[in-house]
């Protein structure tokens, strides 16, 4: 797999619709290799959709999705399977298997994707759990874990196959401040120490800006702004400022596009 390019992921001219609703219109996004890139935007702005396009779980209506110099929409099923092994995803819900203990949750991708003997699977599971500080929880069931611990187990599972690209979908949602701090540190540590490319989708500005090398702000079917966290804070673009300052109405309207309210309530006259 070619990994020479400066960008691990490039979206070119992406248009994506859900039914009649346009989520993205001719959008370009480039994710620099080896860095932490934050994708920010209001809830419902299509951030998770973006991750699913990169993971080839969704196909764009138009445009190209390049991952490690392969255009995903053109790949065969088996080639896609191989590319996906290079990507780890930490889902918003954690999505642990509730009937498997912590060990088996982390071992799962190794059992599905490799023919490693049991002793080596055990080594790798222990290594990944040690990295997230939860080796001691190996025999626990998911319902015995706190929310923060669940997310760290899910992170151990996401890195079980040593992906080159690690995607985080709203990693900070519902976490207490200590768990949040632990996650922020882990995302940065794994990125730097393992040479990963990290993509953090989030609407938590402070946490994401604190770890991201580069930020995109998406909304209203477009990339509203991009740059380093410092550059975006200095932005004069009212759409970027609205998000950064958290004002409810502005260039990005508070109201989802809707027919006339009076017509809705009173009928067309």
Partner 1 sequence: MSTQAHLIEKVPGVMTLTGLLDHETTVALRQEGQRYIQQSSADVIVIDCAGVERSNSAGLSLLLSFQRDVLQAGKKLEIWNLPADMKQIASVSGLLDILPLSH
Nearer to partner 1, 158 or 161 (CB): 161
Query: Which of 162/176 has CB closer to partner 1?
Result: 162
Closest separation in Å from C-beta 122 to partner 1: 9
What is the torsional sign of CA 204, 205, 206, 209?
positive
Binding site for partner 1 (CB under 8 A): 1, 82, 110, 113-117, 119-120, 123-124, 127-128, 130-131, 161-162, 189-190, 193-195
What are 59's two structure tokens? 């196909």
**Please, which residue, 110 or 167, has the CB nearer to partner 1?**
110
Give the nearest distance from C-beta 34 to partner 1 in angstroms: 13
Residue 78 or 260 with smaller CB distance to partner 1: 78
CB of 128 to partner 1, least distance (A): 7
Helix ranges restricted to H, the chain: 47-54, 77-85, 102-113, 118-131, 147-158, 177-194, 205-211, 229-233, 238-245, 261-266
Instruction: Provide the minimum distance between the beta carbon of 141 and partner 1 in the complex, in angstroms, as a whole number.
Output: 24
Nearer to partner 1, 85 or 239 (CB): 85
Smallest gap from residue 176 Cβ to partner 1 (A): 24
Q: What is the DSSP string of 170-188?
A: STTTT--HHHHHHHHHHHH
We find the least distance from the C-beta atom of residue 239 to partner 1, in angstroms, to be 39
Contacts by residues 15-23 (CB-CB < 8 Å, ≥ 24 positions apart): 15/60, 15/61, 15/62, 15/63, 16/46, 16/49, 16/53, 16/58, 16/60, 16/61, 17/61, 22/221, 23/49, 23/221
Nearer to partner 1, 133 or 147 (CB): 133
| 183: its two tokens | 């996650």
Q: 3-state DSSP call for residue 154?
A: helix
């Amino acid at each position: 797999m070619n990994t020479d390019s400066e960008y691990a992921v490039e979206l070119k001219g992406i248009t994506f619709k859900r039914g009649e609703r346009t989520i993205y219109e001719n959008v370009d996004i480039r994710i620099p290799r080896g860095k932490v890139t934050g994708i920010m935007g209001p809830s419902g702005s299509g951030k998770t959709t973006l991750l699913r396009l990169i993971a080839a779980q969704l196909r764009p209506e138009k445009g190209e999705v390049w991952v490690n110099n392969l255009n995903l929409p053109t790949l065969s099923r088996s080639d896609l399977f191989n590319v996906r092994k290079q990507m780890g995803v930490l889902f918003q819900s954690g999505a642990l298997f509730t009937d498997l203990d912590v060990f088996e949750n982390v071992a799962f991708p190794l059992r599905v994707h490799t023919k490693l003997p049991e002793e080596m699977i055990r080594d790798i599971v222990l290594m990944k759990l040690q990295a997230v500080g939860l080796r001691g929880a190996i025999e626990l069931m998911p319902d015995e874990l706190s929310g923060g611990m669940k997310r760290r187990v899910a992170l151990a599972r996401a890195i079980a196959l040593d992906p080159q690209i690690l995607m985080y979908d709203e990693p900070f949602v519902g976490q207490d401040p200590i768990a949040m701090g632990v996650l922020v540190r882990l995302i940065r540590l794994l990125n730097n120490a393992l040479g990963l490319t990290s993509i953090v989708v989030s609407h938590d500005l402070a946490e994401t800006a604190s770890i991201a090398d580069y930020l995109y702000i998406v909304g209203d079917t477009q990339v509203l702004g991009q740059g380093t966290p410092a550059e975006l804070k200095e932005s004069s673009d009212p759409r970027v400022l609205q998000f950064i300052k958290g004002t409810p109405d502005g260039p990005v309207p508070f109201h989802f596009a809707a027919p006339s309210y009076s017509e809705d309530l009173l009928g067309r006259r």
